[in-house]
Amino acid sequence: MKVVSLFSGCGGLDLGFKQAGFDFLWANEFDPKIYPTFAKNFPKVELDTRSITNIKPGEIPNCDGIIGGPPCQSWSAFGKGRGMNDPRGKLINSYIKIIEAKRPKFFLAENVQGILFERHRQSLNKILNAFLNLGYNVNCLSLNASDYGVAQSRKRVFIVGYASSFDEYFFAPEKNRKKMTLKDVIYDLRKNAVSGLKFNKRNPKAKIKNHEYFHGSFSSHYMSRNRVKEWEDTSFTIQASGRHAPCHPDSPKMKKIKKDVCVFESSKTPRRLTIRECATIQSFPKNFKFDYLYLNDGYKMIGNAVPVKVAKKIALQIKKDFLRFDNLPINFKKKGKLIKSF
């Protein structure tokens, strides 16, 4: 099946679909600090680096599916939560217009859990109704990456639509039985980590590509709760920020001394997870290359990505569904139906 990717970022969602056997025709990423990474890892995919607002639907290839993660900052609990009142929040409208023009057999839109907050409920319903009016059966569901082979607790919302003529819905893939731990995925990286250079610039002395960590003091917000997990645990959610990266499991443990105040239990110097460790927790393969000058840009693109294993699980489920739809007619004449799985 042929796919187009919007708001591609560094390509976590894309890589999962590629591993599941989908063919990528075209991708779009506007951020100049991110799209070089996508280009390095997907050299055969046509990459358009213009703003999506400047791209005409006719410039996008016809395809079977459209996937993407419209910017999440306006919906995030860590942002200002302005939703559609933020210009970034309104970019979902560009996504919807492209779906309307291209009419793929399926689409997928990923976003943060914050889009489910009550203050965003009206906006979310408008988004969902727009897809229904285009003739898609839609499931809006929340998935935790830890259920799909990712060593991290990370809940995200996926809105998946199938052409209503199929009279079917996307449902969550079967969960993995085993929970992955930090020891399972990054124990082999516990050595050779290096600090970023002055101003947290990339360190060329890193023996392992991207195995460098953000240095600097820990803010009062950072110290307001535990940031250290044991080797046998799953990771905290990987954030889109070097300053807020979790501590490495070998860092001294933290204890709470009063409300919203924690301290490290020993004088041993703690360190944050490296960019490579964060990427590995996000289930990027070791040979995936991240291109940046400042470390924070590396953390940001990884923290905003869909974990590759989650993307692959979703893609395989879609592929399985469409094997059943192979001989069914495709049209969008009737309004779609909605189910919510959160």
Residues forming the active site: 72
> If DSSP codes are grouped into helix, strand and coil, which group holds residue 21?
coil
**235-to-144, 176, 180, 198, 231 alpha-carbon distances in Å:** 12, 17, 9, 28, 9
Closest-CA residue to 140 (of 333, 47, 153, 120): 120
Q: How far apart are the first and last CA of the chain?
A: 28
Q: Residue 273: which of 225, 219, 210 has the closest Cα?
A: 210
Q: Are 52 and 38 in contact (CB under 8 A)?
A: no
CA distance 101 to 205: 49
Contacts of 287 (CB under 8 A, 6+ apart): none
Phi and psi of 223, rounded to 5°? -85, 5
**Could you give the C-alpha distances from 57 to 52, 70, 96, 156, in angstroms and in order?**
10, 17, 11, 28
Mention every residue, 6+ apart, whose C-beta is less than 8 A from residue 332. 103, 134, 135, 136, 163, 164, 165
